[in-house]
Amino acid sequence: MRLTRCHIDAPLVCGSIVPLPESVAIHLTRVLRLGLGARLVLFNGDGCDYEAELASIDKRGATAEVIDSRPVANEAPLPLVLAQALARGEKMDFVLQKAAELGAAGIVPLVTERTEVRLDAERGEKRRAHWQGILASACEQCGRARLPALGQASTLAHWLGNAPVPGLDARRDSPDRRLPLFYLDPEAESSLRELSEPLRSGACFVIGPEGGLGERDLVLLRAAGASGVRLGPRVLRTETAGLALLAAVQALYGDF
């Protein structure tokens, strides 16, 4: 029987007893109705799964005892980063959830020329916390033991003008350089299949918002060395484009 898997943002050590976050405790004890001694799996993003059992349940919450650990080796063999223009409503949640399931190593939320969503500092922090929860839930479901890195929401110009972040959009073999940059363009000369060599070490894909990338966006991207890539003859919605691209690259050069 597959054990319930829960993400917690805390150190996990075999033999230790850890307090469970309120939301996790409620889900386990009130929704799933698990009792004392019930087995579960915890993970904190360090690359391991930790088998545990419920050690205490009371009105204040619940704790679990960590019994054993094992490394999980199911990360994609090449780093794929989705630089996604902010989408309206639940579309951004959907993109984040599915990108995690498809093996994205990182996601960068972007404000582009035609982006309609605007976040001030307070709203930005709230959305970031919400997005982290979406990624954690997606990893609980799909079995990943490392959460995709989540970049700070920024304008396209600011992101391109700043140094890459190791573990997010930087090359693994050269952390001061960004992964090869591509943007989705239905009129681009090169198709995805024609980009085999640049993609074998990973890539960063920029996806425009509803309405697509604007002329100023394209000027910035080309100045930064980005190349357009064609993914079929049809124009895809912003919440479809990046996910279709991730799946196609995984099938061609990844672990699909």
- pTM for the complete prediction? 0.92
pLDDT for 50-100, tens place per residue? 999 999 999 888 999 999 999 999 999 999 999 999 998 799 999 999 999
Residues 114 and 24 in one domain: no
Whether residues 123 and 229 fall in one domain: yes
Lowest-pLDDT range, 5-14, 30-39, 115-124? 115-124
pLDDT tens-place string over residues 225-256 = 999 999 888 889 999 999 999 999 999 888 98
Task: Point out the domain boundary residue: 41, 71, 101.
Answer: 71
Identity of the amino acid at 109: P
Assess contact for 36 and 57: CB atoms under 8 A. yes
Q: What is the pLDDT of residues 119-128, one digit of tens each?
A: 766 677 889 9
How many distinct structural domains can be found in the chain? Answer: 2
Sheet-wide strand order for 48-58? 5-7, 39-43, 48-58, 61-71, 17-19
User: Does residue 84 sit in the same domain as residue 67?
Assistant: no
Residues 145 and 25 in one domain: no
Domain boundary among 53, 71, 89: 71
Give me the domain span that covers residue 30.
5-71
Same domain, yes or no, for 126 and 206? Answer: yes
Question: Would you say residue 216 has pLDDT above 90?
Answer: yes
Residues 163 and 193 in one domain: yes
pLDDT tens column, 87-98: 987 999 999 999
